[in-house]
Structure 1
Amino acid sequence: MIKKLIYLLGIAVCAPAFAQSSVTLYGILDSGITFTSNQSGKSNVFFQSGTMVPTVLGFRGTEDLGGGLQAIFKLVDNFNDGTGAMVNGALFGKEAWVGLQDAKFGTLTAGNQFDFMFKYMTIDRWGIMLKYNPVYYTQQGPFAKLNLPNGAMDFDRTAGSITTNNSVSYETPNYNGLKFGAMYAFGGQTGAFGQDSTQSLGLRYGNAAVTLDAAYTYAKFANINNGNNGIRNWGIGGRVLVYDALVDAMFTNTENTYNGARVNVYEVGGFYPFTPADEITLSYQFDQGNAVLSDNKAHQVSLTYAHDLSKKTFVYATVIRQWVSGDGQALASIIGSGGTSSGSTQTLCRIGMTIRF
């Protein structure tokens, strides 16, 4: 009888702790057919995964530690639902971090995570528009001389294609709409603390009608002066509610601190739900390279129509047109298009479906 009472007492003590912990399995699938007018001189029609949003499978969890403090974690794998292959080449290569969160003191996380150029200049700036703005709306163009490890794709880090390894990040609580964040990623080079390192800062303010964002990231890469220089990004932007529509704008500056190559991006867009189940998004961007980049320039116009089948599932159609100018290397290249054009223009059309679970 005594053993039974001890057993029941143990269950009673442990049950609240279990009830205050949770782990959630979630995911997003995005599939569709894409047409490009020019990939290395020829048109192409192909199946494509993860362009409205990345196709991911993830786990996130919390544990209540008492006194308002929580342990949190997130593991995300980015994969191609056309083939099942991992996109990042590693299990949970998209995100993998652990941390502590407190309503009074903020959030501290460590691992492989996004910097503030993506967290604030894209996720926060777009808000609800993020659901309907495909990766095509972000930046790529004729700027190979920036000398990024991945060419000129996502050169201002707003597409979310780049995460920051070995990083520690802190974000303050939300003070009446105001929030600040800081991140440092360790390069791990013996005798050179700053080599191959990354620093990032973010500031945002938001209320029901207006969101304002600013971010800075400086990432040093091994292929740029042996990791002692790199790519410096900063940007400002936001969105405003105008009746039922949202209007957003952004400016970013990207610079190679070793060779002086620099690109300014000017972008404006909008979101309008013209029925409870139908939405359109529109974006225009102008990317301006400096003399080191042969004064290459790119213009891009993007339009998406989406129809919600439910709260978690929608179908969509997207049309993108990019045209560039500059030297002989000024070839049009829409991010996510699957290949660079052989000329100064490129058009992309896509129909697809996205489901969340």
Structure 2
Amino acid sequence: MRKKAMAFLACALTGGAAHAQSSVTLYGAIDAGITYTSNQGGHSNTFFQSGVNNPDPWGLKGVEDLGGGTKALFKLEGYYNLGTGSMNGGGIFAHQAWVGIQNDNWGTVTAGNQYDFMLTSLASRRWGPMILYVSPFMTQAGPFSKLNAPGPFGMFDFDRTAGTVRMNNSVLYQSPVINGLTAGAMYGFGGQPGSFGLNSSQSFGIDYANGPLALDAAYTYQKYPTIANGSKGIRNYGFGGRYAIGKNFVDALYTNTANTDNGARIDVYEIGALFPIGAALNLHVEYQFMQGNKVLDENKAHQVGATLDYSISPRTGVYASVLYQHASGDGLANAYIIGMLGPSSSGNQTAVRVGLRTRF
């Protein structure tokens, strides 16, 4: 799970930005710290972890000014494990690899391996300036293994807002911002002979920002070879936003995740707030309620957490996070916080982390 959540940080730093001239930039982030969990399979555990407050990406991004308000763009990005030096996710550029064209009047078209709008709209754009101080510990996980989703789904990042998955072989269009409004659509090709739709994926997003208010909505449906032979899959949608009150922010989010084959469904309700405490100290707090339907044994989880972040410089900071989850339901409902190395043996799990982060 070191691959997760602040994938939206890297996404936020690049997507759709205008550039004054041609350039190629090497960028990345480093996060290291110690995590304690109260119950991992019946025992407490303390371990080294990287890529938690933000992921550990490194990559190349570039822009070439073609004139007339048109630019060529590209991005190649992978995640690494600071503890071992190995690459995560199956390849040196396994997390993002795309190329595209941007025009100031017509928008942006990109193609390759890309994040869908559940991440870009409901995490990156919804949090906006809050994003630097939001811990991935706060993202969705819980007692929902019967969702039967492949890959990192199931109990982890089932609503795709933590950045553990991308849309392969995809083409994306993002409109320019007009009076604070932008919208986008993307399609991932399944590549199945004789069937255009098998193993395919699609995503849509719409975002509005005006003064202190931001509103965001997204939809993604991805079909998988392991679900009804590629004809069905996992469908996600959600909406949320943030509001600035002076230097403080409040945010809210609702997501719905469903397996279109077995009927499993999870509703997530989330609220949070960011409170600056002085020039360099920020406190982020968040509460989530996750509810599964009858297919998921009516399992549910309450999750509350807080992160205190102190910025030593614009790029470097130290932080401390604490998170508690309580799970219950009619079936096996062991608490499972995202990023932990295993589920609790009971319905309760607590995570505490202290770490150091820097970006370049």
Query: How far apart are 1:152 and its partner, in Å?
Result: 2.0
Pairing partner for 1:157 from 145, 157, 160: 160
Distance in 2, Cα, partners of 1:228 & 1:328: 28
Distance in 1, Cα, partners of 2:26 & 2:67: 24
For 1:3, the equivalent position in structure 2 comes to: none
Distance in 2, Cα, partners of 1:328 & 1:214: 32
Distance in 1, Cα, partners of 2:165 & 2:85: 21
Distance in 1, Cα, partners of 2:120 & 2:229: 28
Query: How far apart are 1:223 and its partner, in Å?
Result: 1.2
SS at 1:335 equivalent:
coil
Distance in 1, Cα, partners of 2:175 & 2:307: 35
Distance in 2, Cα, partners of 1:311 & 1:20: 24
Distance in 1, Cα, partners of 2:94 & 2:104: 29
Distance in 2, Cα, partners of 1:235 & 1:298: 18
Once the two structures are superposed, residues 153-178 of structure 1 have per-residue CA deviations (whole angstroms, 9 ceiling, x without a partner) of 10000001111110000000000110
Distance in 2, Cα, partners of 1:304 & 1:329: 29
Pairing partner for 2:199 from 196, 199, 219: 196
For 1:331, the equivalent position in structure 2 comes to: 334
Matched, 1:170 2:166: no
Preserved CA contact (<8 Å) 2:336 2:343: yes
Distance in 2, Cα, partners of 1:60 & 1:199: 25
Matched, 1:248 2:251: yes
Once the two structures are superposed, residues 130-151 of structure 1 have per-residue CA deviations (whole angstroms, 9 ceiling, x without a partner) of 1111111110111111111133
For 1:259, the equivalent position in structure 2 comes to: 262
Deviates more, 1:124-133 or 1:247-256: 124-133
* TM-score calculated relative to the size of structure 1: 0.94
- After superposition, residues 166-315 of structure 1 pair within 5 angstroms as 166-315=169-318
- CA 1:20 to 1:245, structure 2 compared with 1: closer, same or farther past 3 Å? closer
Gaps in structure 1 of 5+ consecutive residues: 1-18
Matched, 1:136 2:137: yes
Deviates more, 1:298-307 or 1:333-342: 333-342
- Greater C-alpha Rg: 1
For 2:353, the equivalent position in structure 1 comes to: 350
Query: How far apart are 1:327 and its partner, in Å?
Result: 3.0
For 1:24, the equivalent position in structure 2 comes to: 25
Distance in 1, Cα, partners of 2:229 & 2:155: 19
Query: How far apart are 1:208 and its partner, in Å?
Result: 2.3
For 1:7, the equivalent position in structure 2 comes to: none
* Matched AA of 1:118: L
For 1:73, the equivalent position in structure 2 comes to: 74
Preserved CA contact (<8 Å) 2:100 2:108: yes
For 2:7, the equivalent position in structure 1 comes to: none
* Matched AA of 1:131: L
For 2:148, the equivalent position in structure 1 comes to: 147
For 1:42, the equivalent position in structure 2 comes to: 43
Distance in 2, Cα, partners of 1:318 & 1:137: 10
Once the two structures are superposed, residues 76-124 of structure 1 have per-residue CA deviations (whole angstroms, 9 ceiling, x without a partner) of 1101111111111211111000000011000000000100000000000
Gaps in structure 2 of 5+ consecutive residues: 1-19
- After superposition, residues 100-139 of structure 1 pair within 5 angstroms as 100-139=101-140
Preserved CA contact (<8 Å) 2:322 2:353: yes
For 2:13, the equivalent position in structure 1 comes to: none
SS at 2:277 equivalent:
strand
* Matched AA of 2:138: Y
Distance in 2, Cα, partners of 1:208 & 1:314: 28
Matched, 1:33 2:34: yes
- After superposition, residues 82-97 of structure 1 pair within 5 angstroms as 82-97=83-98
Query: How far apart are 1:221 and its partner, in Å?
Result: 1.0
* Matched AA of 1:84: G
Once the two structures are superposed, residues 264-316 of structure 1 have per-residue CA deviations (whole angstroms, 9 ceiling, x without a partner) of 00000000111010000000000000111100000000100000000000100
Distance in 1, Cα, partners of 2:350 & 2:330: 20
Deviates more, 1:143-152 or 1:115-124: 143-152
- Cα RMSD between the aligned structures? 0.9
Give identity over the alignment, percent. 55
* Matched AA of 2:324: R
Distance in 2, Cα, partners of 1:51 & 1:250: 21
Query: How far apart are 1:328 and its partner, in Å?
Result: 3.9
Distance in 2, Cα, partners of 1:296 & 1:28: 36
Distance in 1, Cα, partners of 2:26 & 2:94: 16
Structure 1 outlier segments of 4+, above 2 Å: none
For 1:6, the equivalent position in structure 2 comes to: none
* Matched AA of 2:182: K
